[in-house]
């Protein structure tokens, strides 16, 4: 017998059985596999006041969440909140093996929510752990969801109603978890929805985080497209030096402050003892590009000044006044370096 995410299953046993997630074998695996929100309802048994009682997986354990007829809860959950992990919150499936043989087997209805099991799989094979009661059919895998033309909808419009709103945040969180739900929240806050790590760009690190979080394939594809096709440049490079707080207008790359960025500044920056060799190389390359009449701040050489250049320079100890000028020029288009033919 298989249990499926999104499936409704009817089961019984020929004998009494008590178990929780600590049991060896498939019984313990099944208990642990059931995702939060799985419900088990008694639909038939010897004592009428037990019928309708329901247990729900609320975390690590099942616990009784509905008892409409005030039945004895131990007929479904044994030893709730017991101090011993091997005993606490055991499912209690009663059968004809009870004392005096007076109880015919209980029948349960098991409803698994439309989320993967706790092992990441959408189904589990429990073998002959349970039987199917007479009059019921074995559950079948849920039919595949109809394919959605995501070219016609925003990738975060999960209910396809033409707008991204709090309803989509709820759906995303329930079906795919917090990481995807927060994408919608960032979108509603006019932030970069797919920038999971908050570094200002969508790149392979964000894609990996989305994959690990179980984001749907259309989101992964959209993020991949963003990473491979960065936004178009939004401004031209402004070579005029910004006015500093003290009123001076030396260009940030004019290290010797003689009013011009030239080869003497290459000498100046190369001789700064407080800079690492990497920082010196970055700044000297900036100076050379400025001398050549090219925007100096496309450190990554991807064709425009972006947050990625700021991040790289900041991590390598580039002086603050240079970082500030990079920020001013974010979005500037930069000609790609020409590679000479062999």
What is the pLDDT at residue 134?
A: 84
Q: Which tens digits make up the pLDDT trace of 231-253?
A: 667 778 877 776 666 667 789 99
- Of 59, 66, 77, 101, nearest to 19 by C-alpha is 77
Q: What pTM value is reported for the model?
A: 0.46
CA 252 to chain centroid, in Å, comes to 40
The pLDDT score that the predictor gives to residue 124 is 95
Q: Which residues of 230-263 are buried (b: 16+ CB within 10 A; e: fewer)?
A: eeebeeebeeebeeeeeeeebbbbbbeeeeebee
Look at residue 310 and tell me whether its pLDDT is greater than 80: yes
Residue 71 has pLDDT above 70, yes or no: yes
Specify the pLDDT at position 301. 84
pLDDT reported for residue 79: 96
Which has the minimum average pLDDT: 22-26, 180-184, 333-337?
333-337
**Looking at residue 169, what is its pLDDT?**
92
Residue 341's pLDDT is: 61
Residue 288, φ and ψ in degrees, nearest 5: -65, -40
Q: 282: which 2 tokens?
A: 């970055």
- Please answer whether residues 296 and 261 qualify as being in contact, where contact means their C-beta atoms are separated by less than 8 angstroms: no
* Residue that wins the pLDDT comparison between 340 and 298: 298
| 287 has a pLDDT exceeding 90 | yes
- pLDDT, residue 6, reads 86
Res. 307: pLDDT tops 60: yes
pLDDT, tens digit (0-9, with 9 covering 90-100), for 199-236: 777 877 888 889 888 889 899 989 888 877 766 677 78
């Amino acid at each position: 017998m298989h249990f499926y995410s999104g499936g409704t299953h009817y089961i019984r046993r020929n004998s009494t059985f008590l178990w929780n997630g600590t049991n060896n074998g498939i019984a313990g695996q099944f208990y642990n596999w059931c995702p939060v929100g799985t419900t088990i309802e008694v639909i038939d048994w010897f004592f009428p006041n037990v019928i309708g009682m329901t247990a729900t997986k609320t975390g690590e354990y099942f616990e009784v969440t509905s008892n409409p007829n005030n039945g004895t809860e131990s007929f479904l959950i044994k030893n709730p909140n017991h101090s011993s992990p091997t005993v606490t919150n055991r499912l209690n499936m009663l059968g004809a093996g009870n004392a005096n043989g007076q109880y015919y087997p209980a029948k349960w209805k098991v409803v698994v929510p439309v989320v993967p099991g706790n092992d990441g799989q959408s189904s589990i094979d429990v073998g002959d752990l349970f039987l199917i009661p007479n009059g019921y059919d074995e559950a079948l895998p849920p039919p595949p969801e109809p394919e959605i033309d995501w070219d016609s909808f925003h990738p975060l419009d999960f209910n396809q109603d033409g707008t991204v709103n709090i309803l989509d945040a709820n759906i995303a969180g329930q079906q795919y978890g917090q990481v995807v739900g927060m994408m919608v929240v960032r979108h509603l806050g006019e932030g970069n929805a797919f920038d999971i790590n908050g570094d200002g760009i969508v790149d392979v690190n964000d894609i990996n985080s989305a994959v690990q979080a179980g984001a749907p394939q259309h989101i992964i594809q959209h993020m991949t497209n963003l990473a491979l096709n960065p936004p178009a440049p939004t401004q031209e490079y402004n070579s005029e030096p910004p006015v500093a707080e003290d009123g001076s207008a030396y260009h940030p790359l004019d290290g010797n402050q003689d009013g011009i960025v030239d080869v003497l500044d290459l000498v100046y920056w190369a001789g700064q003892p407080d800079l690492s060799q990497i920082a010196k190389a970055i700044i000297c390359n900036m100076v050379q590009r400025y001398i050549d009449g090219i925007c100096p701040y496309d450190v990554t050489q991807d064709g425009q000044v972006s947050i990625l250049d700021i991040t790289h320079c900041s991590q390598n100890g580039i002086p603050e006044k240079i970082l500030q000028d990079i920020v001013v020029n974010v979005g500037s288009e930069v000609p790609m370096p020409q590679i000479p033919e062999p």
